[in-house]
Amino acid sequence: MLELEISYTEPAVKGDTSTGAQKKATVETGAEIRVPLFINIGDKVKVDTTTGAYVERVKA
């Protein structure tokens, strides 16, 4: 697993909070992944290197 910083993501749309809702985000390597709506630019996340999938947000 890698810890990567979110370099870009759209802000969450208010009211668009259905269970498991996700949005696109770009990490510092330039790769695009799907993340939960609460993830913001500058957040660090763990990414599974075998699937490229979001695992969890890294606590500061």
pLDDT in tens, 21-32: 899 999 999 999
What confidence score (pLDDT) does residue 16 get?
A: 58
Assess if CATH 2.40.50.140 describes domain 2-57: yes
Q: What percent of the chain has pLDDT over 70?
A: 88
Token duo for residue 19: 């269970």
